[in-house]
Structure 1
């Protein structure tokens, strides 16, 4: 028990004594003062005894507390001494370890110093040997210069020049050989791919000709078509936008117009009017409107069927309509829709051989000529028109570029554009795909021969293979073998610049030397 608690108990005892004194006095005031004082003395004595006891107990508790604290501090001191001893042992071990390492380092330093001294001695010996060798080389060089009659620098320049010339010659020969081998392999592979594409494409091809003549059941029908004062024919021409030519041709009416869709509407309307027999302005407008609806439906169905046949999806409905319109468009007698389908299949076959995206190649092949559907309405090349339409209706930049570049309106910058060019040339230039008039054919042959003979040194020129090859005969006195290759390139370039033709034209320059003598 602490000293403060002891003092508190003493104070309480004194207070209790005082309280007892007051009680006794009261009792004395009631009559028995002596007994009260005696009782008070007893109470005081008892209080003193209690206070002494409390004080002794407090002293004993204080001693116990002090002893316990002393014991705990001694235990902590012993533990601290033990830890200090452990740390001292560890430090001693570390010092011993460091001393050993220091000894090892000193030994290594001594060894390194020995090695350095040995290396320095070897370097000195090598330097002396190098000086001896340099002196020998100098002496040998002087002897060689005396024997060769030229200085070392001149000999070095001569050797370098000789080696450089030989290296350039060998490099040029190797480059030429590599180029020839690469060209041969590429040409062979390209021919194999093209041949395979043509062989694998076995679809039927029927060129649908543009209908320009409508047969009549009799010549009397011409009068009914013309109508009173020509009102029927004027109504037909106004409703369709197509000219009707009624002449002396027996039982036939000629339809004339540049728009193939309108021409088809006029043909269909006229056939229905002739079949029905009722020909008057009101009926004409009704039949023409019905024919326009049927043609639009046929156009949409043809476009959807074409996309289904090729296997491409996600094409904008307006582009599908443009594809269907190609059914009524021809190019040199070849139906453009059938041509587009053929190009799509050929692109797909060649793309599969080259391991590129087949569906993308088919898509570009099918859409490459959509500009021809509206080229009579919009000015410009059909390739550029088609590319603008494809861009407008959300086609990818690769497809747009392939459409724009398939006739060199843009420079081809992708494999896809080259594929579309090749497939377009295959489909249009293969035998029987297109027809041209006799006048156009003869003019093309004449232009080829005229271009061939326009160059100096050419003695004669002949267009053969239906205009797909020209053979140019040159004079051996005026044109050398090397000049003949340049002449072939110049003729081909002039043909490309001045003429329009399907496929390609081979220019074959022939130069020969003949030695003639007579034995008499």
Structure 2
């Protein structure tokens, strides 16, 4: 029973499984068919869409191809047109080249013809040159016979004529160059000098050194002389200065070449007069004290001058010689004050020219240092001063500037010229210097005499206190170019013969006058 039931169960399960399998198969088949149908539909749609896309792509490709073809055709037309233009231009150039070639060939033929003509002319010219040479030789011989001059003598005459002509042309050129250079140089020099004068303000007239001692009364002369002349001898022995006691009322004259000793004697005598005790012992004591005071004042004056100009490092001995210039005068101008002025003016002009201002001031301050001992040493004060400066360690540049400020040696640098200009400027300003009337008149006469000694000079006048010389020449004997050369020759002669402070301007005047009278 159980087996039967089991078999039925088995059979039932088998039937169930078979029915399920069959049902599953039928369902799968339906799905498969539905999927196939869907796939075919999708495929059909894809084909339709593909056909449509192909048609659109084909149409688009045809459109683009048409457009590209049109563009290509247009470019081709332009290219063909340009090629045609180039072809026409090349044809024209070829025609031009052909024409030029023909022209060149024609010119070449003409040049060949010209060369032949030139060769024939050369031959003709050579023959004519030979003929000319022979004729020139014949004429030269005839000229020598007629003029009684050899070829060398004629050549010398010709060279002399050419030399005169060259001098004439050279004088004209010198005149033009000098006028241009003077015009430009005068403007710049006047500007620099005016600037220097404006920027430096000094005393108009320097203090004079007095060598006459005023006495309170004539009775004092006897006391100064002393018993049997003891006092005056003691004073002269102590100071080295001669005392001149004459009929001049209430005055004693001190005579001596050394200005420092003369100042010592002056101050000593004034102190003795003020004190009233005058005897040899007192005289020696007072002279010693005054000498010490004068030495101190000399050193102080030199140091003050260097300080005022900002010049440092000067040797103490040079400071001493510089201070001694306080008691030295030149044409009544105080030499120390003059040296300070020159130093300032040199510095100002150097600054205007862009040079070393302190170096220029040092040169100007020391330029007259030789005047401190020129009464003791032989030679010009410029050379004496240069030797002093070299001895006490000044630079070669400063030594040369001192030696060259009066042309004792030639100037070597622009600083030397500045020292010369400043020296002349300080001495030439109104009121700076005075000189004796006799010397003044003698110098003017010598100046005019130098000018009148030249050929063709009618008259000469020294004006501006001898600072300018006007020379009037005869217009029939001297031309304009000779007048230029004459002015230079007169200047050279003045520099060689005369000794003068500052500079002298020489003006040669040539004038032609045409005068007629109208009468009725």
**Shorter-normalised TM range:** 0.5 to 0.7
8 A contact 1:371–1:382 mirrored in 2: yes
1:94-105 to structure 2, matched below 5 A, reads: none
Distance 1:265 1:240 in 2: 7
**Structure 1 residues 219 and 485 mapped into 2: Cα distance closer, same or farther (>3 Å)?**
same
Instruction: Classify the secondary structure of the residue corresponding to 1:304.
Output: helix
Once the 2 structures are TM-superposed, how far is the Cα of residue 256 of structure 1 from its aligned partner? 0.8
1:71-82 to structure 2, matched below 5 A, reads: none
Distance 2:447 2:233 in 1: 46
Distance 1:337 1:303 in 2: 8
Distance 1:505 1:387 in 2: 26
- Report what 2:486 is aligned to: 487
8 A contact 1:232–1:281 mirrored in 2: yes
1:415-426 to structure 2, matched below 5 A, reads: 415-426=414-425
- Report what 2:328 is aligned to: 329
8 A contact 1:471–1:510 mirrored in 2: yes
TM-score by length of 2: 0.67
**Structure 1 residues 219 and 175 mapped into 2: Cα distance closer, same or farther (>3 Å)?**
closer
- Report what 2:240 is aligned to: 241
After TM superposition, the structure 1 stretch with the greater mean CA deviation from structure 2, 434-443 or 335-344, is: 434-443
Q: Deviations over 1:211-259 (max 9, x none)?
A: 1111111111111110000000000001100010111111111111110
- Report what 1:431 is aligned to: 430
Q: Deviations over 1:59-100 (max 9, x none)?
A: xxxxxxxxxxxxxxxxxxxxxxxxxxxxxxxxxxxxxxxxxx
Distance 2:262 2:498 in 1: 31
Distance 2:211 2:382 in 1: 27
- Report what 1:382 is aligned to: 381
Distance 2:411 2:267 in 1: 42
Distance 2:254 2:371 in 1: 21
- 1:502 corresponds to 2:501: yes
1:434-453 to structure 2, matched below 5 A, reads: 434-453=433-452
8 A contact 2:205–2:431 mirrored in 1: no
- Report what 2:72 is aligned to: none
**Structure 1 residues 488 and 177 mapped into 2: Cα distance closer, same or farther (>3 Å)?**
closer
1:39-78 to structure 2, matched below 5 A, reads: none
8 A contact 1:205–1:338 mirrored in 2: no
- 1:187 corresponds to 2:161: no
**Structure 1 residues 350 and 478 mapped into 2: Cα distance closer, same or farther (>3 Å)?**
same
Q: Deviations over 1:122-151 (max 9, x none)?
A: xxxxxxxx9999886554345468899986
Once the 2 structures are TM-superposed, how far is the Cα of residue 203 of structure 1 from its aligned partner? 2.5
Once the 2 structures are TM-superposed, how far is the Cα of residue 182 of structure 1 from its aligned partner? 4.7
Distance 2:427 2:173 in 1: 39
Distance 1:402 1:450 in 2: 32
1:38-437 to structure 2, matched below 5 A, reads: 137=111, 139-143=113-117, 181-437=180-436
Once the 2 structures are TM-superposed, how far is the Cα of residue 185 of structure 1 from its aligned partner? 2.3
Instruction: Classify the secondary structure of the residue corresponding to 1:513.
Output: coil
Instruction: Give unpaired runs (5+ residues) of structure 1.
Output: 1-129, 155-171
**Structure 1 residues 361 and 148 mapped into 2: Cα distance closer, same or farther (>3 Å)?**
same
**Structure 1 residues 175 and 455 mapped into 2: Cα distance closer, same or farther (>3 Å)?**
closer
- Report what 2:152 is aligned to: none
TM-score by length of 1: 0.67
Instruction: Classify the secondary structure of the residue corresponding to 2:508.
Output: strand
Distance 2:389 2:235 in 1: 35
Greater relative contact order (CA < 8 Å, ≥ 6 in sequence) = 2
Instruction: Classify the secondary structure of the residue corresponding to 1:253.
Output: strand
8 A contact 2:241–2:255 mirrored in 1: yes
- Report what 2:514 is aligned to: 515
**Structure 1 residues 218 and 356 mapped into 2: Cα distance closer, same or farther (>3 Å)?**
same
8 A contact 1:460–1:474 mirrored in 2: yes
Q: Deviations over 1:198-221 (max 9, x none)?
A: 111112344221211111111111
8 A contact 1:464–1:471 mirrored in 2: yes
**Structure 1 residues 174 and 509 mapped into 2: Cα distance closer, same or farther (>3 Å)?**
closer
Once the 2 structures are TM-superposed, how far is the Cα of residue 180 of structure 1 from its aligned partner? 5.4
Distance 2:401 2:111 in 1: 69
8 A contact 1:461–1:470 mirrored in 2: yes
Distance 2:481 2:380 in 1: 39
**Structure 1 residues 214 and 482 mapped into 2: Cα distance closer, same or farther (>3 Å)?**
same
8 A contact 2:264–2:294 mirrored in 1: yes
Instruction: Classify the secondary structure of the residue corresponding to 2:375.
Output: coil
8 A contact 2:204–2:431 mirrored in 1: no
**Structure 1 residues 474 and 291 mapped into 2: Cα distance closer, same or farther (>3 Å)?**
same
Once the 2 structures are TM-superposed, how far is the Cα of residue 177 of structure 1 from its aligned partner? 6.9
Instruction: Give unpaired runs (5+ residues) of structure 2.
Output: 1-103, 129-169
Distance 1:315 1:451 in 2: 43
Distance 2:106 2:437 in 1: 94
Instruction: Classify the secondary structure of the residue corresponding to 2:311.
Output: coil
Distance 2:335 2:320 in 1: 14
Q: Deviations over 1:387-407 (max 9, x none)?
A: 111111111111111111111
Once the 2 structures are TM-superposed, how far is the Cα of residue 463 of structure 1 from its aligned partner? 1.5
Once the 2 structures are TM-superposed, how far is the Cα of residue 518 of structure 1 from its aligned partner? 3.2
**Structure 1 residues 179 and 474 mapped into 2: Cα distance closer, same or farther (>3 Å)?**
closer
Distance 1:219 1:230 in 2: 16
8 A contact 2:213–2:253 mirrored in 1: yes
Distance 2:228 2:267 in 1: 24
8 A contact 2:193–2:349 mirrored in 1: yes
8 A contact 1:145–1:151 mirrored in 2: no
Q: Report the aligned-residue RMSD.
A: 2.9
Distance 2:178 2:217 in 1: 71
Distance 1:287 1:318 in 2: 25
Instruction: Classify the secondary structure of the residue corresponding to 1:509.
Output: strand
